């Protein structure tokens, strides 16, 4: 929606779409969003579906996923020493991960900008109000992530319970176990267990 507003605010009567200023959106996410790849940084443009030609270069959307980056870093498929973007993104996790913090501190000895960032971080850490605000924000993020995960788990449990109820009905109607396994995705053991409870 915000992108549409940005484009519409630029438009003037008689103006060509090619005259629009490029809009770049950068999304730093603390969850997985682009699941089709293991890359932590994906860039998206608008393309025509059939022939795959670009509609416009006026829109560019970046997704930078911290969980994917952490996984890649732990697998050593990305390096703090080689990629500046990796450093800055992992700096967001440095307070929670001693290994990341230690490696970034080593890099900061040679990188003046990273050194300055660490010094600012230390200044904030000494300011009780800023530290309290940081912890409050961090707790809000953790609470939100926990609530999202709890909702996902409730949904999974509800789906499984619904599936089990359907399986019970199939058992009562006399469907064979192989068909029930194939249709439901449940294992033979799970279906046998449900069968026992029906008798």
Calculate mean pLDDT across residues 168-177.
85
pLDDT of residue 152: 87
Helices (H), 29-176: 66-74, 84-91, 98-108, 112-126, 128-172
pLDDT of residue 68: 92
Q: Would you call 128 helix, strand, or coil by DSSP? A: helix
Calculate mean pLDDT across residues 90-112.
83
pLDDT of residue 30: 85
CA distance 131 to 125: 6
Stronger pLDDT, 34 or 196, i.e. the higher one = 34
Cα dihedral sign, 106-111-115-118: negative
31 Rama class: left (phi>0) / alpha (psi -120 to 50) / beta: beta
pLDDT at 163 over 60: yes
CA distance 143 to 105: 29
With a CB cutoff of 8 Å and minimum separation 6, the contacts of 172 are 198
Q: Give residue-wise pLDDT tens across range 44-71.
A: 888 888 988 887 777 888 999 999 999 9
Calculate mean pLDDT across residues 121-147.
80
Question: Is the CB of residue 78 less than 8 Å from the CB of residue 72?
Answer: yes
How confident is residue 81, by pLDDT bands cut at 50, 70 and 90?
confident
For the chain, give the percent of residues with pLDDT over 70. 94
pLDDT at 140 over 90: no
pLDDT at 198 over 80: no
Mean pLDDT, all residues of the chain = 83
For the chain, give the percent of residues with pLDDT over 90. 8
């Amino acid at each position: 929606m915000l992108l549409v507003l940005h484009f519409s605010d630029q438009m003037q009567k008689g103006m060509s779409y090619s005259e629009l200023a490029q809009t770049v959106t950068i999304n730093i996410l603390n969850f997985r969003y682009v699941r089709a790849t293991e890359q932590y940084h994906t860039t998206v443009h608008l393309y025509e579906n059939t022939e795959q030609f670009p509609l416009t270069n006026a829109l560019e959307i970046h997704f930078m996923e911290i969980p994917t980056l952490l996984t890649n870093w732990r697998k050593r498929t990305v390096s703090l020493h080689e990629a500046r973007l990796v450093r800055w993104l992992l700096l967001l996790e440095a307070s929670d991960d001693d290994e990341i913090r230690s490696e970034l501190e080593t890099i900061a000895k040679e990188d003046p900008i990273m050194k300055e960032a660490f010094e600012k971080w230390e200044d904030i850490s000494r300011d009780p109000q800023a530290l309290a605000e940081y912890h409050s924000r961090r707790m809000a993020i953790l609470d939100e992530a926990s609530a999202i995960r709890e909702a996902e788990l409730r949904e999974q449990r509800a789906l499984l319970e619904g599936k089990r109820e359907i399986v019970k009905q199939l058992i009562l109607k006399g469907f064979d176990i192989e068909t029930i396994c194939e249709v439901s995705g449940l294992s033979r053991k799970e279906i046998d267990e449900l069968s026992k409870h029906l008798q």
